[in-house]
Structure 1
Amino acid sequence: MKKKIIIILLLLGFQGFSQNEIDSLEDQIYVESFGKCFSQLKPLPEVKNRAKLNKIPFCSLYQCVRYVQYVEYEEKIQNAILKRAVEIATLLYKNETPIYLISGMNSSDKALIKNINLKDDNKLVYISVAECISSSTLDRIQEVVNNETTRLIKSKK
């Protein structure tokens, strides 16, 4: 009986360990690229008078993607966030972590598979921003970031 319990505990431990390896890769990618905050960027003056947004520094691509949907019908603020997202995409490229946003069915799985080897295809880091349902604002930020990344990669060649 004791042997069976020990074997079960060992198997559970191995299963947990193997899952942590994949999770840590995904976490590392998010922290080092998508969530990386560039402190040299100044706050956006367009969100200064917005109660929920004035405390957001908009220093990472994650913040831009997450909060651009809050201002879907305020074009001036949305354009400022999109412009900041392009700035951050440029900074990420200069730091040798160009980022490419993807969406659609199973996009998080596709991103994980493409990110297994970050040395291929210009070291692109793929980030899923919408799994099944995407909004027009997410599509727009995805487009401007991907266009900037593609432009920078092509200009290097």
Structure 2
Amino acid sequence: MILLLLSLSVKSQDTNDTEIVEDYSIADQLYTKCFENLNQGIEIFEKYPPLKSRKFCSLIECMFLYSYKEEDIKFAAEKRLIGIATQLYNAGTPVYLTMGMDSYLYATEKNKNLEDDDHLIYINYGECTNPRFLSDAAEIINRQTLSLIKQSTSK
């Protein structure tokens, strides 16, 4: 019996059988997509040498950029988030970020039909607890997306 348990333990630690699951959903693609043509904040990044070499060209990167305490960096992050949300809207792929319990399941379910609710693509960025900067950054994106939708429907 001990020999059987030891062999199972050794087999469970075998990393050759590890299955890698990659998600290529539209939400994940848009969350990590790099928008090369962003120029908001370039002058601010010049003041901070560690930031000069980074692109900060995706939603996820700009959301984390929003975590800096320096107001000018936060301002640049906000402008980039607005720019990305606008580009996504103009490309016909408006995004809405969600968080909270079961938000991944909610986003997955909502993304099954991309022809409903103004073609919004829901992106889950976290479950129950997240740092405040992520929620604030998501609010910037959602506010811009909803503003653009409202403008287009009022025409």
Deviation of 1:94 after TM superposition, in Å, equals 0.2
Aligned-partner residue type, residue 129 of structure 1: Y
* Higher mean displacement: 133-142 or 49-58: 49-58
**Equivalent residue number for residue 4 of structure 2:** none
Q: Using the alignment, how far apart are the partners of 1:127 and 1:107 within structure 2?
A: 9
Deviation of 1:49 after TM superposition, in Å, equals 3.9
Higher share of residues assigned helix: 1
**Amino-acid identity (%):** 36
RMSD, matched Cα: 2.1
Cα pair 2:65 2:74 within 8 Å, conserved: no
Deviation of 1:86 after TM superposition, in Å, equals 0.4
**Equivalent residue number for residue 65 of structure 1:** 63
Q: Does 1:45 align with 2:43?
A: yes
Query: TM-score normalised to the size of structure 2?
Result: 0.76
Q: Does 1:123 align with 2:87?
A: no
Q: Larger Rg: 1 or 2?
A: 2
Q: How does 1:4-153 map to 2 (within 5 A)?
A: 23-24=23-24, 26=25, 28-31=26-29, 33-42=30-39, 44-69=42-67, 71=68, 73-153=69-149
Query: TM-score normalised to the size of structure 1?
Result: 0.75
Q: Using the alignment, how far apart are the partners of 1:52 and 1:104 within structure 2?
A: 33
* Higher mean displacement: 92-101 or 54-63: 54-63
How many equivalent residue pairs?
Answer: 133
1:77-101: per-residue Cα shift (whole Å, max 9, x none)? 1111011100110010000000101
Unaligned stretches of 5+ residues in structure 1:
1-15
Aligned-partner residue type, residue 38 of structure 2: L
Secondary structure of the residue that 1:53 maps to in structure 2?
A: helix
